Amino acid sequence: MSRIVALGEIMCRLATPGFKRFGQAMPGELVVTFAGAEASVAVSIACLGGNAAFVTAMPENPLADACISQLRSFGVDTQHILRSSQGRLGLFFLESGSNQRPANVIYDRDYSSVAITPAAEYDWSGIFDKADWFLVSGITPAISKNGAELTRTAMQQAQKRGVKIACDMNYRSKLWNWDKSLTPRKLASQTMRELLPYVTLFLGGPEDAAEILNITPDENSEDPLLDISRQIIKRYPNITHLAMTLRECFSASHHSLGGMLYVQETDQACYAPIQNDKYKPYQITDIVDRLGGGDAFTAGLLFAMEDAELDTPQKTIDFATAAACLSHSIEGDYNLSTRSEIETLMHGQRSARVNR
């Protein structure tokens, strides 16, 4: 079984109940869960039956103990999580959107343990022992200068050991503030462009390509996403696969969702979902929880690429997109869908009948 290692920050997520606004819910009770992009990927892979490890730094306190205990309960390998007397557990507050009102996130994660712990304190030999894939995202380098240096060092250590590297761009404009001489977009662009030469699998969307890489499709292109993919790989030829989520937001409660996987070797792009030989995105009309959809896509992609029954490009993108779709039906950041549920959807069964 392929071993997939993810590095990032995990936090407490404090959400208002239902669709209340912050001013309605506070003072009062908030719904507390644990969340973080890379941890969400690790949990999803473990729930699918894969071998996933999560690496981070966390404070020595009962909150972190509870977080690690939950990760272990899902089957995630946590042996390389550092415990530190320095720093804190990051927080973020979520106000869920509804209809035409968008969701809102407030971050409180400065000086978290992973943001300040130097890369030299991690056991890279142990972390990457027998690893096949290493996942990072654009979030860890966004949280602090040390986070950026940690990400770079980890990618260098993975590359040195022959581990394939997946990078989800995950641009968060509210986080890129550690160099006040640059705008968030400029800082993100400068940092991520320096990291992409290490990457094997690029994950993102057309917005990431435009915002971070300043890559847009030719106006005369018949397939804009294929054009974007070719431009990215021309700039970073080490990338062998490129995947994008294709999301259109009609309101906070209604999205259409699809996916695309481009393979450098064949110069072909596969789209999902396919219905009657045509691309037809999922219509998600009653979103339970928007957060974590991209992470479910990443998890589904990495799992499928390493599974003998799913490793063709079309099956891989079918599986990843179905996983992302189902994640919108589950409260919290973690996609707890089973492999059977995902495969049922990817094979065209979209019925809402009760399983009896």
Q: What is the DSSP string of 160-182?
A: HTT-EEEEE----TTT--S-TTS
Burial class, 222, CB count within 10 angstroms (exposed 0-12 / middle 13-18 / buried 19+):
exposed
The answer to whether 188 touches 181, Cβ cutoff 8 Å, is no
Q: Is the pTM of this model over 0.85?
A: yes
The answer to whether 344 touches 351, Cβ cutoff 8 Å, is no
- Looking at residue 1, its pLDDT comes to 78
- Looking at residue 97, its pLDDT comes to 87
pLDDT in tens, 85-140: 999 999 999 998 888 899 899 999 999 999 999 999 999 999 999 999 999 999 99
Q: How high is the mean pLDDT of the chain? A: 94
Residue 354 has pLDDT above 80, yes or no: no
- Looking at residue 350, its pLDDT comes to 60
Q: For residues 271-296, give the mean pLDDT.
A: 92
Distance, in Å, from the CA atom of 42 to the CA atom of 48, rounded to the nearest integer, reads 10
67 vs 349, residue with greater confidence: 67
Report residue 272 as tokens.
């999902």
- Looking at residue 52, its pLDDT comes to 98
- Looking at residue 351, its pLDDT comes to 55
Residue 207 has pLDDT above 60, yes or no: yes
Residue 356 has pLDDT above 80, yes or no: no
Q: For residues 139-147, give the mean pLDDT.
A: 97
At residue 202, the 3 state secondary structure works out as strand
pLDDT category of residue 266 using cuts at 50, 70 and 90 = very high
- Looking at residue 353, its pLDDT comes to 60
| Pairing relationship of beta strands 91-95 and 104-108 according to DSSP bridges | antiparallel
- Looking at residue 221, its pLDDT comes to 87
- Looking at residue 355, its pLDDT comes to 60
pLDDT in tens, 65-96: 999 999 999 999 999 999 999 999 999 999 98
- Looking at residue 68, its pLDDT comes to 98
- Looking at residue 290, its pLDDT comes to 86
* Helices assigned H by DSSP within the chain: 22-25, 37-47, 62-73, 113-116, 124-127, 140-143, 145-160, 184-195, 206-213, 224-235, 293-305, 313-327, 339-346
Q: Give domain 3-346's CATH architecture.
A: 3-Layer(aba) Sandwich (3.40)
Domain ranges of the chain: 3-346
pLDDT in tens, 211-244: 999 999 988 888 999 999 999 999 999 999 999 9
Residue 301 has pLDDT above 70, yes or no: yes
pLDDT in tens, 157-181: 999 999 999 999 999 989 999 999 9
Residue 41 has pLDDT above 80, yes or no: yes
Q: For residues 1-25, give the mean pLDDT.
A: 94
